[in-house]
Amino acid sequence: MTMSNTVFAYGKDKLSVGMTLDLARGKVKGTLTDEVRAKVIASRKHVEKIVEAKKVVYGVNTGFGPLCTTIISEEDTKELQTNILQSHSVGMGNPVSEEIVKIMMVTKVQALSQGYSGIALETLERILWMLEEEIVPVVPEKGSVGASGDLAPLSHLFLPLIGLGEVYYKGERMETAPVLEKYGKEPIALGPKEGLALINGTQFILSHAVKAVERFHNLLEAADLIGAMSLEAAMGSARPFEAILHEIRPFKGNQHVAERLDNLLKDSEILNSHAECDRVQDPYSLRCMPPVHGASRNAWLHLKEMVEVELNSVTDNPIILDAENTISGGNFHGQPLAMVLDYATLAASELGNISDRRSYLMIEGRYGLPKLLMEDTGINSGFMIPQYTSAALVTENKTLCFPASADSVPTSLGQEDHVSMGSISGRKANEVISNVEKILAVELLYAAQGVDFRRPMKSTKVIEECHNFVREKVAFADKDRIFATDLNVLEEMIHDQSFVNHANKTAEKEGIQLNGKHDELFRIY
C-alpha cells in the first residue's frame, strides 16, 4: 500500500470516515504532536496524584462495576489493571476482520489522545507501533452489550499490550509473546486507570459503523445506477425525476437521487423512443426511486453525522479533568450509535426490497420484454429462479431489522442496568448490507439482459458503459446455465466498488455531472 504525504495528528485533527479508513489501511500516517503528548502526560500525572493522595476514584483505586465500593491499595492498583484485561476477555465466535480491528485501534488512539483518560504515553505509542507494523490483535465478534462500552472486544484488542492474547502477523494467527520477542519488545506494565481506559469505550460499535457508512454509501450509488438500467430495460419514464417535483417536497436525499437519475438518463435513445407512449405511469419501484432511495440516503446521512461525532469523542470512564476533578459518567454508552445503526439497517434493507420488486417486474413479460427475460422458454426456465434468491434475501433482511437497541438485559449485578446492545446493531447492519449486495446483483443480471432486448437502441454513455462492464464478465443468456456463477461475479463487482467506480470514472471522462446541489453532503471524503 502506497502511503500518501498526508500526516494525521491524533488528538488534534478531526477524524472523518474517510480519514479513519485511510489510517486503518495504511494510506495515511498517524502521529502524536508535541502538544498532544504534553496533554497525555499531564493527564497521566493527574492520575498519579490521585493515587498518591489516596483519593477514591472509580477504576483508579476501586474495583469495577458492582465492585466500585471495594477500595484497592496503592500497591495493588497496577495489578488491578492487568487483571481487568484478562477477566474481561470473554468474547466468543468468529474473529472480526483485520480491517475492523485496525479501525478499532485508530479510533481508540483518537479518543485516548485528547487528554482526559489518564493513559500513559508509552501505551499510546505501543498501539501506534502495532498499527504501523501491522500486528493486528484477534478480536472475537460476540460478547459486547455496548455499555459500559465494548468491554469484551476491547479487552481482547489490548491483551497484546501486556504480552497476552493472539495477533495476526504476516498472514499468520499466532500468540503475541513470540511477536514481541522478535522485535525485542517487553509487555507494557499498565499503571492505574490504564486498563479501564483501554476497555471502556464504543470502538467496536464505532468500527462497524465506519464500515457501514462506507459500504452503505456504495450500495446507494449502485442502487441508483442499477435502478436506472432497470428503468431503461422496462422502458420507464424519467418524468418523476424532474427537479420541480422534488422542490415541492425538498428532502435532501430525495433531491439527490432525483438529480442523479435525471442526469443518468438524460438524452437516452431508449428513453426518447417512447416519449409519446400511452403508458400513464410506471409501477412504484421505478417512479418512486427518489423517495425510496432518497429516504435511505437520508438515513445514511444521519448515520455519517453521528459516526463523525463519535470519531472525535472521549468515550471512556471516569473522565479525568485534573487531580481534583474527575467525573464518573456514561460516555461509554453505545445508545447514540446503536439507534442510528438500527435505522441504517432498516434503510439498507429497503434498498433490497425495492430492488427485488424491479427484478420481478422485468421477468413478468411486460413492456415488450420476453417472459422470464428469455425468448426460448419451456425447455429453458430462463431467469425465473434468481429472483427466488432475491426474495429469500429480502425476507432474511426483514428478520434482521428488529432493532437490537430496543432490547436491554441488565448486567454487572444491576450496576449496569441499561445497555445498548450496539455491537449487535453494528454487526447486523453490515450483514444486511452484504445481503443487499446480493439482491442488487440479481437486479443487475436482469437489467443487463433487459437492456439487450432494446437493441439496436442505446441508453446514455454512463449506463452503456455500466452495461459493457457487466458484459465483460457476464454474457447475454439465450439458454439456461448456472446463473450462480454470474451472480457471484456481479456481487463481487458491487461489493468491491468496481461497478460504481467504473460509472464515476466514465462520467468524469465524458464530462457528465451525476450529482447535484447536495453532492458535498453525500460524500465520505
Q: Is 278 exposed, middle or buried (0-12, 13-18, 19+ CB in 10 A)?
A: exposed
53 three-class SS: coil
Please tell me the least confidently modeled range out of 44-48, 136-140, 343-347, 394-398.
44-48
Domains 7-201 and 208-315+334-519 share a fold: no
Q: What is the domain partition of the chain in residue ranges?
A: 7-201, 208-315+334-519
Mean pLDDT of the chain: 95
Topology of the domain covering 208-315+334-519: Fumarase C; Chain A, domain 2 (1.20.200)
Q: How many CB atoms lie within 10 A of CB 301?
A: 18
Across 139-168, average pLDDT: 96
Tens digits of per-residue pLDDT, 164-219? Answer: 999 999 999 999 999 999 999 999 999 989 999 999 999 999 999 999 999 999 99
The residues assigned a catalytic role are 58
Tens digits of per-residue pLDDT, 368-421? Answer: 999 999 999 999 999 999 999 999 999 999 999 999 999 999 888 777 889 999
Sheet (strand 166-169) strand order: 136-137, 166-169, 172-175
**Greatest CA span in the chain, whole angstroms?**
87
Q: How far apart are CA 521 and CA 298, in angstroms?
A: 10
Rounded to the nearest 10°, the torsion over CA 81, 86, 89, 90 is -130
More confident of the two residues 49 and 387 = 387
**pTM of model > 0.85:** yes
Our CA angle for 44, 45, 51, nearest 5°, is: 95
The distance from CA 67 to its chain's CA centroid, rounded to whole angstroms, is 36
Q: How far apart are CA 305 and CA 375, in angstroms?
A: 49
Instruction: Tell me whether strands 319-322 and 172-175 are parallel, antiparallel or unpaired.
Output: unpaired
Helix (H) or strand (E) holding 166: strand 166-169
Q: How far apart are CA 513 and CA 460, in angstroms?
A: 13
CATH architecture of 7-201: Orthogonal Bundle (1.10)
In the predicted model, is pLDDT for residue 63 greater than 60? yes
Tens digits of per-residue pLDDT, 454-487? Answer: 999 999 999 999 999 999 999 999 999 999 999 9
514 three-class SS: coil
In the predicted model, is pLDDT for residue 364 greater than 80? yes
End-to-end CA distance of the chain: 19
Would you say 516 and 294 are in contact if contact means Cβ atoms under 8 Å apart?
A: no
